[in-house]
Amino acid sequence: MGDLDLLKKAESLEFKRIDFYKKSADKILDPSGKQVLKDLEKAEKRHFDILKKQAKNIKLGGEVDSKGVKSICSKMKGRFDVKVKSNQKDINLIEKAIVLEKEDASFYICLEGKTGSRKLVKLFKILEKEERSHLKLLKKTLKDLRRRGVAEFEGRNSKAMFLDMFNRK
């Protein structure tokens, strides 16, 4: 498989992720969780555009140019420090996103081993690092969703028990 084929394969993956995050953001109820998914959609779009540009370079007889491609992980730290409310549907969407991001990081590691181009390896390493940062964000979001879900559940049960005490005949 040539470098152009590897880039096209990566483009296809990123396109699927853009679609997934767009659809998931439309479904999620919590506004903070919705924003996390919209931001991830933008990040995947950025990946897609990078890959498309590199494929174009190769098609025009050039090489991969990863000099201008920097990981934006450090810039995004703290940006996603949001609290989300729990909802089982939201939890399920985030769990699915976690599975996909794990696969995506592994996907880029696999592509690194299939190319002989140092420049392409560098690009795939940058993208793998960003996918791992997405994974951390999603795990944090899931943890917050679950924590809030337990608190809400316990709160409802306590209230229900309290009300039951007065409704007994």
Mean pLDDT over residues 29-40, rounded?
Answer: 87
Domain membership of residue 159 as a residue range: 3-167
Q: How far is 131 from 129, CA to CA, in rounded Å?
A: 5
Query: Residue 154 — pLDDT band, cuts 50, 70, 90?
Result: very low
Give the pLDDT confidence score for residue 32 in this predicted structure.
79
Between 7 and 34, the higher pLDDT residue: 7
Convert the pLDDT of each residue in 80-121 to its tens digit: 444 445 578 888 999 999 999 999 999 999 999 999 999 999
Tokens of 14: 């990123």
Tokens of 91: 């939890």
CATH number of the domain residue 21 falls in: 1.20.1260.10
Number of independent structural domains in the chain: 1
Mean pLDDT over residues 5-28, rounded?
Answer: 95
| Beta carbons of 142 and 91 less than 8 angstroms apart | yes
Between 55 and 72, the higher pLDDT residue: 55
Exposure of 156 by Cβ count < 10 A (0-12 exposed, 13-18 middle, 19+ buried)? exposed
| Beta carbons of 11 and 51 less than 8 angstroms apart | yes
| Beta carbons of 34 and 28 less than 8 angstroms apart | yes
Sign of the alpha-carbon torsion through 124, 129, 130, 135: positive
- pTM of the complete model: 0.75
E-state strands within the chain: none
